[in-house]
Amino acid sequence: SRFETCWPALTKDSNGVIIIFNPELPSHLKEAEMWYSCFVQQQPLLDSQCLLVAHHKPGSAGDTENLSLGYPLNKVKLIHSNLEEDPEDVRVEFMKYFRSIITLINESREREEMSIIS
């Protein structure tokens, strides 16, 4: 991608990564794996700091709700977003994700402070 040179600046000090993809396009799964590799594995971030969002367009067909992801994406939390049918569900999942990231940040800050004190 022509933006790859910018990636180090984007990833510097990042605390979380959200990857949104269209589950109906097989090429999107391949791309999601690439994003995961670059932005999660190479950071390195924990899998819990990553959220995968399979976004279903209005009126999209296919049984993609039972999406089975291969390694390494199968280690990451996957949510399905369908803003026509269930926007509230998506909002709740995002809030859970952000809370978990904030908890991780606070815990690591406390560890740093303790290491400075001791």
Domain assignment of residue 3, yes or no: no
pLDDT 10s digits, 23-39? 988 898 889 999 999 89
What strands, in cross-sheet order, belong to the sheet with 77-81?
17-21, 50-55, 77-81
Q: What stretches in the chain show pLDDT beneath 50?
A: none
Q: Confirm whether pTM is higher than 0.85.
A: no
Q: What is the pLDDT of residue 64?
A: 59
Q: What is the pLDDT of residue 75?
A: 92
Amino acid at 116: I
| Domain of 63, in residue numbers | 18-117
Domain assignment of residue 55, yes or no: yes
User: In the block, which residue shows the tokens 């199968």?
Assistant: 74
Domain assignment of residue 77, yes or no: yes
Q: What distances in angstroms separate CA 108 from CA 11, 36, 103, one per listed residue?
A: 18, 22, 9
Domain assignment of residue 46, yes or no: yes
Domain assignment of residue 1, yes or no: no
Domain total of the chain: 1
Nearest alpha carbon to residue 98 among 13, 3, 17: 17
